[in-house]
Chains A and B, each alone.
Chain A
Amino acid sequence: MTIDRTKAPDYKTIDSIEYIKANPLTLDNNIQLFTIHVGYQEVIKLDFIFEAGEWVQNASLISEYTVNMLQEGTQKFAASELAEKLDYLGAYIYYSSTKHTNVISVYTLSKHIIETLGIIEDIIKRPIFPEHRFSVYNGKKLQQYIIESQKVEVISQQIFSKNLFGNNHPYGISASTESFEKINLNHLISFHQTNIRSNNCKIIAAGMVDEQVIQAINKYFGGNDWACTTEKPALSWQKEPSNNYKQYLEKPDAVQSAIRIGKELVNKHHPDFPALQVFNTVFGGYFSSRLMTNIREDKGYTYGIGSGLVSHREAGYFVIVSQVGKDVYQKALHEIYYELEKLQKELIPDEELQLVKNYMMGTILRNFDGAFALSENLKTLLEYNIGYEYYDNFIQIVRNVSSTDLQAIAISYFKDQQLYEVIAG
């Protein structure tokens, strides 16, 4: 049998995406619990999502430190006991602090769910933030910070955020060495008392979540013993964008320059967001993007270049990121601007747009594959307080947007717009 290897096999495009929606429940204390009962592997993932994050902290590091130090000792258990017990159960906990939330994520075997919940309850409700653990943690974080601050990509990222949003806004500020000197235990205790509370909490349970698991979650977290009694102040922050659009920070010993170019842009709430995502994918959002094809695959100036739309709850931005040889950074900049202008001047060829749409549909399908992926999607919806119709609309726009639409998008968001440009290295 001879086969024609020059001809691609037939394929099907993904025209619709079926996915399972979460089941909303309410615990006895009114905490919303979303269950995603999918899968056959004996693992459960729990996300405890607290409405807080960097938005509500009154100095850098507090939000991050508070959640990360939950595991450093509770009223019942010393830190070492907690670690031993969780390791022994084969459970993993991840603590994260985002701009608007604090999330405690737990992976555990279904058969150990009850024991794990008992430990998590103690960690979330009754941490004691021991002084000696705090000083070790703070010393460690300071050293990590000092090492990170030497990296050109970190330097450019910090300055870029500051230029977009200013130093008095949670989206613009970065920690400094001073932040590590100023932070103390009282900040953490107070942040925990105000924010890591039942009336500030939502829970997602994904995996083998049966009735027994739901009851156990209610038993440990459905009580009125961990509400916040004090009033939470409403906070608003003033954006202070910089007038300094181009910054170059020389780092004499660097062999590469880190580039960040971008501007403030709409977030997920805006109707143009899905079309902008398609635009961004064409421009710098996948391996065969315009930026990768030109600057890596044709010129060899970099190991990688990409662009992205970063959406936060109150604002969003567009950013192009790369590290390029120090000797070619100006050439790379020239090519970046050339590609951005080309999308304003010329229509995207049909074949390329179809390719991007197919690729994006594959990515969306992957993002809905499995219980844990579904719980990540739900987390996004909760973050923006939007429903599943967001995804249905997104998919419709990805499928139907035209080259003409995308050119209009490129013009309206980028024509004659000054971009912030930060080069470090």
Chain B
Amino acid sequence: MLDIKKFTLENGLRIIVNEDFSTPFSVMNILYDVGSKDEDPEKTGFAHLFEHLMFGGSVNIPIYDIPLQRVGGENNAFTNTDITNYHITLPTENIETAFWLESDRMLNLDFSQKNLDTQKNVVIEEFKQRYLNKPYGDVWLYLRPLSYKVHPYQWPTIGKEISHIQKATLNDVKDFFYAHYAPNNAIMVLSGSVTFETVKQLSEKWFAPIPTRNVIPRNLPKEPEQKEHRRLTIERNVPFDSIYLTFHMCDRMDKNYHASDLISDILSNGKSSRLYQNLVQKKKLFSEINAYISGEMDEGLFIFSGNLMKGVPLITAEKAIWDEIEKLKNGYVFEYELVKVRKKK
């Protein structure tokens, strides 16, 4: 088991430490409790665009990456519907550089029009590369609004459309920063050969002076129960048909969350899973098929997605998935299946 220690600074920053002296490195991870679900429906793609801007220089440090590379470190970040996450790996003896860099961009950014304009272009190219310029890339741009009618999970993190990114202004960006980037809206993790005492001392030095900010409490609409079957057919110039089915499921804190996760594993984790054995190997309906959960904080989705073998009618493929769902509902999960997926976790 991991050895975990926690403390909270007076400004509300929560800090978690895991000491691990088997490596010469340490990792600093900062999670901000802001994702694409916190966006205005008319200004989507903002949380992710903002993640890009976080590398464009902060109030006292003109370029973020250079000082980190100079001390032998590397970093990356991601945004999803729920959170924005930044992480640094660097030699432990240079850990203070991470505290310096991350506290400065939590304190304030150097908002520049030039950086905003460039990163808007970069993100638009990312939108094209990941969602438009490859077969099936745009599926989630349709599947989310089909699955959610009210909750902001109805748009993907990259944004509903390119024009939302194009329209972003410097004022929008500043508002977003002050509304969400704050010590009291973040969790910081240090893991590696850094000691708890060092973390305490450096956190006090670099992060404690950052003022608490007024983070507006989240108040998202709850997705109403879906009462009707929804179906969308999209025609594209792709080589084979594909099918996606989504079902609403519980939120991440619900007692059934892990059970749902295990069910998706029984269905499709590995070559001994049911969907692979029955629908790929035996019935030869799909070249690939998966069942998985979206894993989101609020009520998420349980998803089936499959690529059909050439010549298989969509109706046959869909029925085969429903048959597997029925088997699970009416039948039995074998003890060995449950043990197996538990071990894989």
Contact = CB atoms under 8 A, between A and B. Distances in A.
A146 B22 contact: no
Interface stretch (B170-178, B183-191, B251-259, B270-278): B270-278
Contacts of A235: none
B128 A325 contact: yes
B244 interface: no
Contact of A256 (B59, B117, B129): B129
Contact of B122 (A86, A303, A362): A303
Interface in A126-177: 133, 136, 139-140, 143-144, 146-147, 150-152
Interface string A58-74: 00000000000001000
A87 B125 CA distance: 40
A5 B62 CA distance: 12
A288 B55 CA distance: 11
A140 B288 contact: yes
Nearest to B56: A297
A369 B24 contact: yes
Contacts of B69: 286-288, 355-356, 358-359, 362
B202 to A, nearest CB: 9
Nearest to A303: B126
B295 interface: no
A270 B311 CA distance: 52
Nearest to A371: B22
B280 A151 contact: no
Interface residues of A, number: 65
Interface in B69-127: 69-74, 89-91, 93-94, 96-97, 99-100, 103-104, 107, 117-126
A3 B66 contact: no
A136 B271 CA distance: 13
B270 A12 contact: no
B72 A14 contact: yes
Contacts of A14: 72, 91
Interface in A320-348: 323-325
B41 interface: no
A236 B282 CA distance: 42
Contact of A143 (B124, B132, B240, B336): B240
Interface string B117-161: 111111111101110111110000000000000000000000000
Nearest to A71: B271
Contacts of B51: none
A151 B134 contact: yes
A255 B126 contact: no
A323 B287 contact: no
A288 B93 contact: no
A43 B205 CA distance: 39
A8 B94 contact: no
A53 interface: no
A365 B94 CA distance: 14
Contacts of B287: 139-140, 143-144
Nearest to B62: A6
A255 B132 contact: yes
Interface in A355-378: 355-356, 358-359, 361-363, 365-366, 369-370
Nearest to B60: A5
Contact of B125 (A152, A254, A256): A256
Interface of A: 1, 3, 5-6, 8-14, 39-40, 71, 79-80, 83-84, 86-90, 133, 136, 139-140, 143-144, 146-147, 150-152, 253-256, 286-288, 296-303, 323-325, 354-356, 358-359, 361-363, 365-366, 369-370, 425
Give 4 closest A-B pairs by Cβ, nearest first.
A362-B72, A300-B121, A83-B272, A9-B96
